[in-house]
Amino acid sequence: MANPIASAKAQEATEHFTFRNATPSDIPSLSSMISTSLRSLSQTHYTPSELDGSIGFLFGPDTLLIHDQTYFILHPVNSPSTICACGGWSFRRTLYGADTAPGRVPEKRDPKVERASIRAIFTHPKWARQGLGTMMMRYCEARAREGGFERLEMGSTLTGVALYERCGYVRSGKEDVVVCPNGEGIRIVHMVKNVETEGVDGV
């Protein structure tokens, strides 16, 4: 099984892709890309009904992250409008979810005693399994460290758990089941990672 960190480093070395901050004008494209990603890459973990209920409710852009300038787009160097992957980090206590998701807690975290959250990492199917999702994760981890956080957490989709485990995250033992408007329950896995000694590379 390929090492996702090594794949991400190989992509970084090509310098074919770069990052930019997401802006409010990107929200329609982000919503479409996240939907495409989930429907293509999460079919083995969520049923069509679960995806129908969760996309646009639980899974979608968080405009507060865009306002905070902590949500990013990974794109080809020569095509800033092409979203290959997206993701972010947050100093707020909301762990996951779009604007419409339940349980939002916008208060700020204390980096001395709390973890930053890695948020909403999605890869477009066209660029999947090429290291770009992990490249986005590494970028978000680095930005969180610049924000003063040495410990991280995330609410992972079932689809992402295996990848994040290979990148140094561990399950905390907590799981949420978010009930969507159509009555379907979506499992979200709480995962954590400490970076103060290992660095953002996970090594």
Distances (CA, A) of 105 to 90, 97, 102: 11, 11, 9
Strand partners, 152: 116, 193
Domains of the chain, by residue range, sit at: 4-92+109-152
Crossing angle, helix 4-14 and helix 132-146, to 10 degrees?
90
Model confidence over 80-99: pLDDT tens digits? 999 999 999 999 999 999 99
**Res 199 pLDDT > 50:** no
pTM (predicted TM-score): 0.92
Right CATH number for 4-92+109-152 from 1.10.3720.10, 2.60.40.10, 3.40.630.30, 3.40.600.10? 3.40.630.30
Model confidence over 110-165: pLDDT tens digits? 999 999 999 999 999 999 999 999 999 999 999 999 999 999 999 999 999 999 99
